[in-house]
Amino acid sequence: MGSNPFNGGAFEYDAFYSTPFGRKLLRLEGRLLEELLKPYRAGPLLEVGCGTGAWMEFLKGKGFTPVVGVDISLQMVKVARSKGLEVVVGNATDLPFKNRSFKASYFVTSLEFIENPLKALSEAIRVTEKALLIGFLNRHSLLNLKRRLKALLGLKTVYRHARFFTLKEVKELVAKAAALCGTRVTFEKSLSTLNFTFGNFAVEPLERLSERLPTGAFKAALFRLR
């Protein structure tokens, strides 16, 4: 994961998910993760770039177990461990796990902040037996265009460190990473959220209608490994 843009802000990062808007995002985006990962509910699952463990907690609350996390930030890992989560300090480009240790692995808006996403994906594929899920910020969405503009203008935002992807780019990266591992990969499907908001108010009925649309600020793409 290289230099971590969230270092020094673990408690602030974690507190976001306790805000009304943060809880809504957990529900909206979490619904996509739950649907795509449900065949692997019995685990074990790995979250790469887990931060303080908000998504691990969400999936465990939905009956997914065991769920393991890895993050480069010691502060993030300490917060996650304080919740009783199984998290280790490690680099996404050199995962501290044996081959095929997990039924499924997933990223949730962490690939954007990893210096070498191709290497990180190849490592995730190496340690995974059946499926890989990538939750990412869609470069073509209006919300993420706004985030990119703020970064380009030099305004204070964590997104100045981010690399925004399209679904096509994610598919290409995963295919290249699988080839490096000698693994066959098949794109299964993707789901989306619009992140349709007024201020910090998420319009949930519209979000539910948007899940299967090709656009969306947050997309979750599932790949099967062979």
pLDDT of residue 202: 43
The domain containing residue 68 runs over which residues?
10-225
Helix (H, G, I), strand (E, B) or coil at 150: helix
pLDDT of residue 187: 98
Over the range 161-177, which residues count as b (16 or more CB within 10 Å of their CB) and which as e? Answer: ebebbebeebbebbeeb
Question: Does the residue 2 lie in any domain?
Answer: no
The CATH number covering residue 22 comes to 3.40.50.150
Question: Does the residue 159 lie in any domain?
Answer: yes
Question: Does the residue 121 lie in any domain?
Answer: yes
Helix (H, G, I), strand (E, B) or coil at 49: coil
Taking the CA atoms of the chain, what radius of gyration do you get in angstroms? 16
Question: Does the residue 220 lie in any domain?
Answer: yes
Residues 6+ apart with CB under 8 A from 56: 47, 50, 67, 69, 80, 85, 87
pLDDT of residue 11: 85
Question: Does the residue 110 lie in any domain?
Answer: yes
> What is the domain count for the chain?
1
pLDDT of residue 140: 72
pLDDT of residue 143: 58
Question: Does the residue 3 lie in any domain?
Answer: no
pLDDT of residue 16: 84
Question: Does the residue 5 lie in any domain?
Answer: no
Question: Hey, which residues does 220 pair with through a beta bridge?
Answer: 135, 191
pLDDT tens digits in sequence order for the chain, 226 residues long: 444 445 558 888 889 888 888 888 899 899 999 999 999 999 899 999 999 999 999 999 999 999 999 999 999 999 999 999 999 999 999 999 999 999 999 999 999 999 999 999 999 999 999 999 999 988 776 554 555 565 565 665 565 677 889 999 999 999 999 999 999 999 999 998 865 443 334 444 544 444 455 567 789 999 999 9
Question: Does the residue 55 lie in any domain?
Answer: yes
pLDDT of residue 196: 47
